[in-house]
């Protein structure tokens, strides 16, 4: 009987001293944590890249529209808007984003009716949510009254100079997760940029033969 009892005890003691599977067990326990950290790192990096792309789009479009010399046409604006899709191709910007381009100038009024006005406005992108609509007014806003005093948020107010228009661009993008929406979700990213028009004789937007104007009542990826 003593031998029968001591034999299982010896086996258990041997198992207690066994170390060969210890590393595998520890790895099995730590794998979910390591995998979670890795996935979070991947998602965070992708989010940072998406935010960078959104900022690049706003800056690039505003600069490209502002640098058109002499006069500007619908074709010029369409070409600048197309650059948004090229920059944002890797984040599916056309389907998940929206660009609003506004040409802003002083309305020439005095007193209580003085202010800024949106001379013309063009848009591109399929994102149709409240945040993707023009946040400071539609085309024609402020032309005959003081309804528009500045563009931008209250912390980043900007106005056009007396003798030249300002191109103001609003970019909105609904983030597309690369791992899953459980980590960051699908937040709305937003960026604004403005440039002063350079060397342009006429600020009015001219039509172009065979070119369809990208008015802001249309929601299309291209």
Band (pLDDT 50/70/90 cuts) for residue 40 is confident
pLDDT at 14 over 70: no
What mean pLDDT value characterizes the chain? 89
Beta strands in 49-165 (DSSP E): 70-73, 97-106, 116-124
Whether residue 173 contacts residue 97, with contact meaning beta carbons closer than 8 Å, is answered with: yes
Rounded to two decimals, the pTM is: 0.84
In which band, very low, low, confident or very high, does the pLDDT at 163 lie, cut at 50, 70 and 90?
confident
The predicted structure's pLDDT at residue 97: 97
> Which tens digits make up the pLDDT trace of 178-206?
888 888 999 999 999 999 999 898 999 99
Identify the pLDDT of residue 26: 67
Backbone phi, then psi, for 207, in 5-degree steps? Answer: -75, 160
**pLDDT, tens digit (0-9, with 9 covering 90-100), for 58-95:** 999 999 999 999 999 999 999 999 999 999 999 999 99
β partners of residue 151? 158
Report, as an integer, the average pLDDT of 11-24.
61
Residue 132: which of 81, 183, 192 has the closest Cα? 192
Which SS3 state, helix, strand or coil, does residue 57 take? helix
Edge-first strand order for the sheet with 188-196 is 116-124, 97-106, 166-174, 188-196
């Amino acid at each position: 009987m003593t031998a029968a009892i001591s034999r299982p005890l010896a086996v258990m003691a041997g198992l207690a001293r066994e170390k060969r599977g210890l590393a595998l067990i520890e790895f099995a326990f730590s794998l979910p944590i390591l995998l979670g950290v890795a996935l979070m790192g991947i998602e965070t990096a992708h989010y940072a890249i998406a935010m960078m792309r959104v900022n690049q789009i706003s800056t690039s479009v505003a600069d490209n529209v502002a640098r058109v010399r002499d006069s500007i046409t619908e074709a010029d604006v369409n070409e600048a808007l197309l650059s948004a899709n090229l920059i944002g191709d890797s984040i599916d910007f056309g389907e998940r984003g929206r660009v609003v381009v506004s040409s802003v100038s002083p309305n020439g009024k005095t007193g209580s009716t003085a202010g800024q006005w949106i001379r013309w406005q063009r848009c591109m992108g399929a994102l149709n949510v409240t945040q993707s609509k023009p946040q400071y007014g539609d085309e024609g806003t402020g032309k005959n009254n003081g309804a528009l005093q500045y563009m931008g948020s209250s912390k980043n107010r900007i106005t056009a100079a007396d003798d030249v228009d300002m191109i103001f661009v609003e970019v909105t993008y609904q983030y597309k997760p690369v791992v899953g929406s459980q980590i960051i979700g699908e937040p709305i990213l937003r960026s604004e940029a403005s440039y002063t028009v350079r060397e342009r004789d006429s600020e009015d937007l001219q039509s172009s033969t065979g070119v369809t104007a990208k008015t802001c009542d249309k929601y299309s990826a291209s």
